[in-house]
Amino acid sequence: MKSVKVVLVKRGNAKEGMLKLRVIENRTNQSWKSLGIKVPIAYWNKEKSRVKATDKIDYKDINNKIKEFEDEYGTADNASEKIKADKNSYTVFYRGLIPSLSIGSQKKYNTLLKTITDYTLTLNKSDLLFADINEDFVLRFKRYLLEDKNLSANTTNRYLKHYKTTINKAIKADAYSYLKHPFLNIQLERESTVDKYLSKAEVQRIIDLDPATKALKDVRLRFLFSIMCCGMRTSDLHLLSFGSIKSDRITYIMYKTKQQLSVKLNTNLKLLLAERVVETEEAKALKSYADFLKWYTEYKDYIKEKQSEMPATISLDLLKKWKEINPALNSPIEERIAKQDEYKEDQQLKFLKHKLTEATSKVLRGLSTKFPKLFVFPGLDVETFKNFNIYDPTKKQFNQIESRTTIYNKALKELQKAADIDMNITSHVARHTYTNLMLDVGADIYAISKSLNHQSIVATERYIAKFNSKVVDDANDNLAIEIPL
């Protein structure tokens, strides 16, 4: 006689427990196997051995896994022996590890598991045991990734780092003990790469772009906002709500690192948010909206009038260089430079910017109070994210964020074409561009580190080493002036 049941095991006064499969054979022979899944006690139905229906956790996915375990061990001829054999299997341990990871990590580790399984099959093995894994095995697997799978050195090292992590977790869980760690002599160093970023002139080209469609206007706005808001990551751009905007600051928990970041709403950010406010239906119900719309209309009309006085915009730096190279064309260029300088010092424009940003702040305060969960940049399904917990997103929420990022990256290709930029623009280019612009304006490393929310100055030093060396170049030029040969 055999009894197979999943139970929730908790320790002391813990509010959650670990799901474990209990197998009883011949009434006395009892074996246990962890499913690697933690569940809050409040959501566990003891009688049915199932998770209760709730929107707090992905109960359907967990219940499906419970059924898989019950079916697999319930039909086994000798379930106790199977559990004992599983303890020697790296593959079984790995599969049990995945549910305990975050949803983002689950995706990465599932990909690695498939790759390891594929490699194991090339060795004519259906299962990979802990005893099979040694330094030689790791080196052969590395060659397989580089040569057979044609992966880059950095991707291969990333796979191996995840692989090493699973071995460390197995050792920590007492699943297996190694006399010599398989990765003891394996060096996993990342090759240096050059991160892509836009120059100041290319960013100006996007700023000056007059979008031909509503979709192009939207992607341009998102990309510029991402740059200006300290290189905000795309996931945070999707999740940004009006409730995050208070006291002229944007304060939010970053989706990737779970760290809080607070960014001051400067003039540029307010002008960009004004474009969102005018498209937000909920804003129109606020008392402050009428005043906002008045200044928004006056500002846009004035900008349009000024732009009609000048041909397509060229950056001031480029005009001055053009003047040096082509002295014969000085007259029209000087006239253009004068207009650019006049535009920058335009007192009426400064006044209208001030009034618009002031009015935008008032509307943002209203939206933050009355519609805190409303997304600043629409895209994610409001109902799906109604009870969103950034520390524990559901699989559906995770997949939707990934999907929106894919759609956004496709839209960036259209922005790239419209702005006539040769480089392939992706969502992460905004973060790199922000870093490079900060270096261009001479920001010190501490300011850059704080704005990117790096955990250490060393991390920032490694990060900025890939970008524009203008600060160093300028310092060397100044040295040459001070100490001429």
Q: What is the pLDDT along the chain (485 residues), one digit of tens a residue?
A: 667 788 888 888 888 888 887 877 666 667 777 777 888 999 999 888 899 998 878 888 889 888 888 887 766 566 666 665 556 788 888 888 888 788 888 888 999 999 999 999 999 988 898 888 999 999 999 999 999 999 988 899 999 999 999 999 888 877 788 889 999 998 887 666 556 888 888 888 898 888 999 999 999 999 999 998 888 999 999 999 999 999 889 999 999 888 888 888 888 899 999 999 999 999 999 999 999 999 999 999 988 887 666 544 455 555 555 556 555 545 554 555 555 556 667 788 889 999 999 999 999 999 999 999 999 999 999 999 988 999 888 889 999 999 999 999 999 999 999 999 988 999 989 988 887 777 776 666 666 665 566 656 565 555 545 545 455 455 445 544 554 43
Identify the pLDDT of residue 299.
93
Q: Is 451 within the bounds of a domain?
A: no
Identify the pLDDT of residue 416.
94
Q: Are residues 183 and 214 in the same domain?
A: no
Provide the strand spans (E) within 218-284.
245-246, 249-253, 260-264
Q: Is 438 within the bounds of a domain?
A: no
Cβ count near 217 (within 10 Å): 16
- Show the DSSP H helices in 75-213 as ranges: 79-86, 90-97, 103-122, 135-143, 153-172, 200-208
Q: Are residues 263 and 213 in the same domain?
A: yes
Q: Is 346 within the bounds of a domain?
A: yes
Cβ atoms of 33 and 21 within 8 Å: the answer is yes
429-440 vs 200-208: helix crossing angle, rounded to 10: 120
Q: Are residues 226 and 344 in the same domain?
A: yes
Identify the pLDDT of residue 485.
39
Domain's final residue, options 373, 407, 422: 422
- CATH number assigned to the domain comprising residue 179: 1.10.150.130
Identify the pLDDT of residue 99.
81
Percentages of the chain per state (helix, strand, coil), in multiples of 5: 60, 10, 30
Name the nearest CA neighbour of 379 among 395, 361, 363, 397: 397
Q: Is 322 within the bounds of a domain?
A: yes
> Please, which residues bridge with residue 265 across strands?
none
β-strand pairing of 249-253 with 44-45: unpaired
Q: Are residues 152 and 260 in the same domain?
A: no
Domain's final residue, options 150, 173, 191: 191
Q: Is 459 within the bounds of a domain?
A: no
Q: Is 433 within the bounds of a domain?
A: no
Q: What is the residue type of 388?
A: F
Token pair of 131 as six digits: 């005893």
Identify the pLDDT of residue 395.
85
Q: Are residues 174 and 207 in the same domain?
A: no
DSSP 355-379: HHHHHHHHHHHHHHHH-TTSBSS--
Q: Is 471 within the bounds of a domain?
A: no
Distance CA 485, CA 482 (A): 10
Distance CA 396, CA 55 (A): 11
Identify the DSSP state of 189: P
Q: Are residues 82 and 5 in the same domain?
A: yes
pTM exceeds 0.85, yes or no: no
Q: Are residues 23 and 125 in the same domain?
A: no
Q: Are residues 289 and 351 in the same domain?
A: yes
Identify the pLDDT of residue 71.
81
Identify the pLDDT of residue 215.
95
Distance CA 468, CA 114 (A): 39
Q: Are residues 303 and 409 in the same domain?
A: yes
Identify the pLDDT of residue 139.
94
Distance CA 373, CA 216 (A): 25
Q: Are residues 409 and 299 in the same domain?
A: yes
Q: Are residues 99 and 62 in the same domain?
A: no
Distance CA 203, CA 412 (A): 13
Domain's final residue, options 406, 422, 438: 422
Q: Are residues 185 and 205 in the same domain?
A: no
Structural domain span for residue 27: 1-86
Q: Is 441 within the bounds of a domain?
A: no
Distance CA 20, CA 11 (A): 13
Cβ atoms of 193 and 154 within 8 Å: the answer is yes
Cα 193 to Cα 161, 190, 423: the distances in Å are 18, 9, 16
CA 305-306-310 angle, 5° bins: 115
Identify the pLDDT of residue 481.
54
Our count of domains for the chain comes to 3
Cβ atoms of 279 and 293 within 8 Å: the answer is no
